[in-house]
Amino acid sequence: MDIIEFTQSPDLMGDTFTGESWEPWRAVLSGAFGVPMEGDRLEHFSRLAGGRAPPDSRVRELWVIAGRRSAKTHNAAAAAVYLGTVGAELDGLLQRLSPGERGVIALLAVDRQQAKVAMGYIRAMLEGSPVLSQMVERIGAEGIDLTNGVSIEVHTNSFRAIRGRTLICVLFDEVAFYRSDNSASPDIEVYRAAVPGLATTGGMVIGFSSPYARRGLLFEKWRKHYGKPGDVLVVQGGTLDFNPTMDRRVIDDALEDDPEAAKAEWLGQFREDVESFLARDTVQSAVRPEPLELPYDRRHRYVAFADPAGGGADEYCLAIGHREGERMVVDLVRGRKGTPAEITAEYADLLKSYGVTRITADRYAGSWPADEFERNGIKVEASPKSKSDLYVDALAAFNSGRVEIPPDDKLQAQLIGLERRTSRTGRDTVDHAPGGHDDRANVVSALAAMNSKDSHSRMVALTTW
């Protein structure tokens, strides 16, 4: 039984995947699993696969680039259930396991909420089938053990979730939007961790996502393999290409409101108005080997910038630096979550230990940081420039090697993850990627932006005794 017969079997999958609207997905799955096709299905495949010929056998990797509401997660869940049951037997995956060893199908989602959605689909497919439900041995919050020695697990995107596991298949859900506080390229790290785990079984990688910027794992797979023969299949299309039941008016309205964003979200095209702001090599060349924090040295005059946070997911950040010749040396970066008043008092003591009694702060923080710092003996001046403008001002200092930053993983990830976006009016803005953070990058870039003769003289007057 191939995957198409599997999804259309009433005893296995009910009527979930019946109807002509699923034909584009049947074409994709037929190509990925080497199922022969002809007629309209073959035409669907050729259009979505960039004109390449269908593979003769199951591919090593499948990458689906599709617009929103294309039923990506739903079909990925179906592929996971197939590979964990009938497909595992037909493909000989189970025969490659050692006695007592469990094979794992890991679905990695962009966040916990999406992981719950994916698990909901998988659980419903298994429990709703009179045949497959008999294979369920145990159901947990993040995984389902089957009686054939296969476990289907759902996790957030992390290489730790799959490292050391014997994998039958790894599915990357919305891989273009993977984010991590400690890595600028979590998608690539997770992929590299998955490949060794698939070596024993000869298992499969399936990635599916709406596109975003022209960088990262998904874009590289598209650039290298779209429309080209081989055992890596990349398909690409808009929402209507995969889900013809979608109301076209929703897409037309989105295209009118924001054409560039809508092209990615609904037409399945990578955005051309988003690019990396700082090159990875540029950031890494600015990092000193050690220490993480430089101690106070009375020979230097120090400046400081704060980005206060009032709670939530953002950190309350502070950076202290000094100038050595043409370089701005960032002595330390602190980022904390907790009670703002307590953090302010802690930072005030830290500033005084470096001889700083006046600082600059993000102007969007409002008046409370100035009031709170004032109570702790520190004067605050709001930054005359926006965060985006400070990033732009800092670019020349980074590119010319005139900035030294601490070996802070979060800081490096945030700097590398910064994006430059061009609006329809031609104005550039710099900010973190969707779902990301830039609190540490903000305070460090503000110090780097001060690294000019005029701004340095002004900041020395503001921030030292």
pLDDT tens per residue across span 178-215? 876 666 678 898 999 888 888 888 889 999 999 998 88
Alpha helices in 335-427 (DSSP H): 340-353, 368-375, 387-399, 409-416
pLDDT at 89: 74
Answering whether pTM is above 0.75, one says yes
Do 403 and 446 form a contact (C-beta atoms < 8 A)? no
Do 110 and 156 form a contact (C-beta atoms < 8 A)? yes
Does 92 score more than 80 pLDDT?
A: no
Confidence of residue 463 (pLDDT cuts 50, 70, 90): very low
Pick the CATH number of 3-272 from 3.40.50.300, 3.40.50.11310, 3.30.420.40, 3.60.20.30: 3.40.50.300
* Secondary structure letter of residue 39 according to DSSP: H
Does 425 score more than 80 pLDDT?
A: no
Q: Which residues contact 20 (CB under 8 A, 6 or more apart)?
A: none
Q: Which residues contact 12 (CB under 8 A, 6 or more apart)?
A: 6, 86, 129, 131, 132
pLDDT at 453: 42
Confidence of residue 248 (pLDDT cuts 50, 70, 90): very high
pLDDT at 14: 86
Alpha helices in 58-149 (DSSP H): 72-84, 86-90, 112-127
> For the residues 260-270, what does the mean pLDDT come to?
91
The percentage of residues in the chain with a pLDDT greater than 70, rounded to a whole number, is 92
> For the residues 358-365, what does the mean pLDDT come to?
80
pLDDT at 426: 62
pLDDT at 458: 43
pLDDT at 384: 86
Nearest to 301 by CA among 96, 428, 464: 464
Do 277 and 438 form a contact (C-beta atoms < 8 A)? no
Lowest mean pLDDT, pick from 35-49, 186-200, 217-231, 237-251: 186-200
Lowest mean pLDDT, pick from 97-101, 380-384, 411-415: 97-101
- List, by residue range, all CATH 3.40.50.300 domains of the chain: 3-272
Determine the topology of domain 280-463 in CATH: Nucleotidyltransferase; domain 5 (3.30.420)
pLDDT tens readout for residues 143-178 = 899 999 999 998 888 877 787 788 999 999 999 988
Does 456 score more than 50 pLDDT?
A: no
* 102: region left, alpha or beta (phi > 0 left; psi from -120 to 50 alpha): beta
Residue 336 β-bridge partners: 316
> For the residues 285-293, what does the mean pLDDT come to?
96
pLDDT at 146: 94
Alpha-carbon distance of 358 to 204, in angstroms, equals 57
Q: From residue 392, how far is each of 387, 403, 428, 445 by CA, in Å?
A: 9, 14, 9, 9
pLDDT at 345: 95
- List, by residue range, all CATH 3.30.420.240 domains of the chain: 280-463
pLDDT tens readout for residues 380-397 = 998 888 888 999 999 999
Residue corresponding to tokens 């080497």: 34
Do 229 and 197 form a contact (C-beta atoms < 8 A)? no
Tokens of 404: 């030294």
Do 278 and 438 form a contact (C-beta atoms < 8 A)? no
* Cα-to-chain-centroid distance, residue 117: 18
Tokens of 243: 């889900």
Backbone torsions φ then ψ of 208, nearest 5 degrees: -150, 135
Across the chain, mean pLDDT equals: 89
Q: Which of 114-118, 310-314, 434-438 has the highest mean pLDDT?
A: 114-118
